[in-house]
Structure 1
C-alpha cells in the first residue's frame, strides 16, 4: 500500500460493492469508495475500552487528501490521550440547538445538496421561501431548544402559534424601500411543519443526531383549496378591462402578457421569463427548460401561436418580453402594472393563478379529460417532459386550440354556446369531413419564357 494521495483516490474506480483503500504510511487512515463513486475519508481506531471505532472525516472533493490526513492525525493523537474523538463529536452534535441545525441545513441548501422534486436541487425561488420560513417561524419559535429535546408536542405547538399569527410582522428586504409582510395562517403553518420535517430528516439521516423525526405524524390542518375561477361573464369583463388598459402605452406589454397567460394556462413566471429559444412555433409548443416540474413541453393553442408568430424577435435580448431598461433581464414591471390595471375593478381579486385555474376549468367544461388538462398545464402527472419530444400528439394540440380559442373569443366579448366536443356529433362530423376532403390540385404553372425559348 502506498501513501493515500489525491491521485490514488481519484484512480479508485467504483465497483459493485463498497471497498476500502488504506494509507500505507498512516495506520488507520483510509477512504471507502461507494458504487455511486462517492469517496469518503475516515480514520479507524480502538478506544480506551478496546472498542473499534470508525470516524468519517469528510468526502473527497469537499476536503483534500492532505486535509483528511491532518484530521486523522489529530484524531489518533486524541486516542493516545485516552479520548474517543467519535464519541466527543457525537456528543457535541447532539448538543446543538435547532437554530444551529437550521444553519447547517442552510449551508447544505446553498451548496445544492438538499434535493427537491424529482431528486433535483431545490430551485432558487424555493430556497428563498425555505429561508423565510426558517428565519421567520422556525428559529423564533424553536431556535433555542436542543435538537434532541424537541418533541412532537413542541412541533404541534409551533404550528398552532403560526396559525394564530404569533410570528406575524413586517420585515425590511434588501430592495430599496422593500418590505415583507409576514402573516402566518393555516397554509404557512402546514408548509412550515413540512419543511421542519425535512430539516429533522437531514439531522437524522446525514448527521446522526436523532433517531426519530419529531415532526413525523404531526396532524397538519388542511390548506384552503383555491376554487376561484372566472365564469364566461367575468372573462368578457376581463377583456374589457384589458382593452381599456391597453389604451395607455405603459401597460400595452403587460396586457399582452396577461392575455397569453389567460389563453395558455402558463404560470405567471413562465410567461414573464419566457425565452425565445423556448418558443417552438413550428411545433406549436412551448419547450420550457426549467419549470416546477423541470423541463416541460406544452402545446400552444392557435391564438397564442399566432400572437408569437407576429412578434419581432430580432432584438439581442434572449427574452420574449425583455426589460425596458435592461434587455438582458426579463420584464420586471409586470406585478406593479397588474396591481394598477385591476385596482378598483370588478376583478380586483384576480391573480395569475386564478387565470391558470380558470384555463383548466374551461378545458373541463369543454369535455377534456383530467390527463389531457394535466398535459396542457404541464403538471408532473401529465406533462410531456422529455427534451427529445419533437412533435406533440395531434389531439393535445387540438385541445389547446379549442380551449385557447374559446377563451380568446370570450375576451373579445363573444357569447358562445359550448358543448362537449366528444358528444357534439355535428362538430365531429364536420371536422371529419374537412379532414377527409381531398385538397384540389394546384393548376399547372406556365413555364417561364426563357425556359420555353431554350
Structure 2
C-alpha cells in the first residue's frame, strides 16, 4: 500500500520482512526498495516516450542511504519531469556507460579517420597535440561530458606558453568531435570547440641577407670538405676520451649538403626535398613532379643551378637525398643545421626560413606575388601576401618622388641622387 515516504516510514519498512518496496503517496512513480541484506535504493517508475498503457514500465534506481527521503523525492521530481519532456533516464545511463572517454575515442579517430584522410605530417602533429596537451586534462572525461568551458580553460592554459600550439590543439579536438558525431557517439552538431576564438598568431618572418647567404654557403662548403671544428667541455669526465683538438671536426655527407642547397635554390619544403625520389625528377623539362605534398600534386620548377646540382648528385638509392637505409628517406636535418647555422652565425634561423629567403629574393627582384606563389606552390593568395612589403612597389616609388620633390623645395633634404648613393 502506498505511504508517504519519510525517515519513519522507511525505518518501518526496514523492520518488516525483506525485501520490501514502498511507493510514495505524494509523488506518483517514486518509491524505495529495501533489499534482504539491508541495502536501500530509491527509484522512479515511468513509461518512456509517448507513454500509455501499451508501453512497458521501466524502473530506474538512483541513490541509496546517503539520500534523505526529501532529497530523494526532489531528485525523483527532476527525473520524472525529464521523462515528461521525452527523456529516458535508463537509456541515458546505458549510453553513458557505453560512451568512450576522450582518450579512447582520440585513438579511434587517429586510427580510423586521420590515418585515411590526413597527411603523415598532420597526423604526427595531431598525435603530439593529443598526447601532450589534450589527454592530461581531458583524457578520462567521457566524450559527451566535455563542455565548452572545459575547452576554453584548456585553450587558455596552452596559450600561456604557445598560442600556435593552443590553436592547433583546438583544431585537432574539433576534428575529433566532428568524427564522433558521424559515429553517433555525440549528437550531430555537438562540438564544444564552437565559439572559441583562436589566439592571434604573429607569423615569424626571417629572410637571409646577401651577407648571411654568403656565410651560409661558406659554412656548408666547410662542413662537407674539412669539417666544422667543435669544442668540448673539459670539466666533464668524458673529456679525456675526446679526440685531439686537430681532429675535432664535424663533417656532413654530400647528400646533406645537397639538401641544404636544394632548399635554398628551389624554395621547397623540407619534406619535399627529403622525400624526393629520382623518379620525380624530370631533367628534360627541368621539373620536380611531386605526386603529393602539403598542397597535393605539385610541380617545382628547377632553375639552372638547381638542375646542375641534381646532375652532380650520385644516385645511391631511390631517394635523391640518400640515407643509410635504402628504403627510407632521411628523417630530418636538425643536427647538421644546428652545426652549420652556428658556424655561419645565423642564430634563430630555421630551416624553413630558407624557403622564405627564396621567395624574398624573387619579390625584391620585382617578380609578381602570383608568380612567387606559383613557384612556392601556394594555394591561397593570402599566403604569398607576406612578401608584398619586399616587392618593388610602384606606390613606394611614387611616394618617394613626391617626398623628395617637396623636401627639396623646402631646402632641407639631400638630392635624390645622394639618397640613392647612400642606399
Give the deviation of 1:359 after TM superposition.
Answer: 0.8
SS of 2:297's equivalent?
strand
Give the deviation of 1:282 after TM superposition.
Answer: 0.6
Give the deviation of 1:220 after TM superposition.
Answer: 1.3
Separation in 2 of the partners of 1:375 and 1:138?
A: 37
Match of 1:358 in 2: 357
Match of 1:310 in 2: 312
Match of 2:72 in 1: none
Separation in 2 of the partners of 1:338 and 1:208?
A: 46
Say if 2:257 is the partner of 1:255: yes
Give the deviation of 1:329 after TM superposition.
Answer: 2.6
Q: Deviations over 1:163-203 (max 9, x none)?
A: 235xxxxxxxxxxxxxxxxxxx1110111011111111122
Q: Deviations over 1:292-348 (max 9, x none)?
A: 1122112111110122123333x4x1111212x333333457332222222354113
From 193, 196, 217, the equivalent of 1:218 is 196
Give the deviation of 1:150 after TM superposition.
Answer: 2.3
Structure with greater helix percent: 2
Match of 1:400 in 2: none
Match of 1:235 in 2: 213
SS of 1:294's equivalent?
coil
From 266, 270, 273, the equivalent of 1:271 is 273
Normalising by structure 1, we get a TM-score of: 0.55
Distance 1:333 1:373, change over 3 A: closer
Q: Is the 8 A contact 2:287 2:300 kept in 1?
A: yes
From 141, 147, 150, the equivalent of 1:145 is 141
Distance 1:289 1:189, change over 3 A: same
Say if 2:169 is the partner of 1:192: yes
Match of 2:294 in 1: 292
Which entry has the higher C-alpha Rg, 1 or 2? 2
From 125, 128, 133, the equivalent of 1:129 is 125
Separation in 1 of the partners of 2:203 and 2:115?
A: 34
Q: Is the 8 A contact 2:267 2:356 kept in 1?
A: yes
Give the deviation of 1:47 after TM superposition.
Answer: 12
Distance 1:333 1:297, change over 3 A: closer
Structure 2, unaligned runs of 5 or more: 1-48, 56-87, 228-250, 382-390, 394-423
Give the deviation of 1:379 after TM superposition.
Answer: 1.9
Q: How many residues align?
A: 277
Higher relative contact order (CA 8 A, sep 6+): 1
Distance 1:89 1:292, change over 3 A: farther
Separation in 1 of the partners of 2:292 and 2:100?
A: 37
Distance 1:48 1:123, change over 3 A: farther
Q: Deviations over 1:135-168 (max 9, x none)?
A: 1111111223333332222111001111235xxx
Normalising by structure 2, we get a TM-score of: 0.59
Structure 1, unaligned runs of 5 or more: 1-45, 52-83, 113-120, 166-184, 383-417, 421-454
Match of 2:109 in 1: 105
Q: Please, what is the CA RMSD of the aligned residues?
A: 3.0
Separation in 2 of the partners of 1:89 and 1:283?
A: 65
Separation in 1 of the partners of 2:318 and 2:134?
A: 39
Match of 1:394 in 2: none
